[in-house]
Amino acid sequence: MERSMVPSFEEALERAYPKIEWRLPIRMAAPQGTGLGCRFCIARYGIKAHEIPALPQTIAEFHAHMKTFHPIRASL
């Protein structure tokens, strides 16, 4: 199968769970701090409380993360 025909991890999640707003951040908080969580990264890697302060702190930082790591492919 051609690489372009293989659905990406993001596409597979978006198709399997269409009601989840995958491209919107999740506000997360822990005693160590707060941040904006990426639903794709959490689904793939999970998250621990000590990692929350390292998450994007602003919407602009979150959008930069999405553009870098989870760009929208033409097939969507």
Q: How many helices (H) and strands (E) does the chain have?
A: 3, 2
Q: What does the DSSP 8-state code read for residue 55?
A: S
Give which of 30, 73, 19 is closest to 55, Cα–Cα.
30
Q: What is the mean pLDDT of each run of 10 residues along the chain (76 residues)?
A: 67 95 95 94 94 94 95 66
Domain boundaries, the chain: 3-69
pLDDT at 74: 58
pLDDT at 4: 57
Phi-psi domain of 25 (left: phi exceeds 0; alpha: psi -120 through 50; beta: other): beta
Position 12, amino acid: A
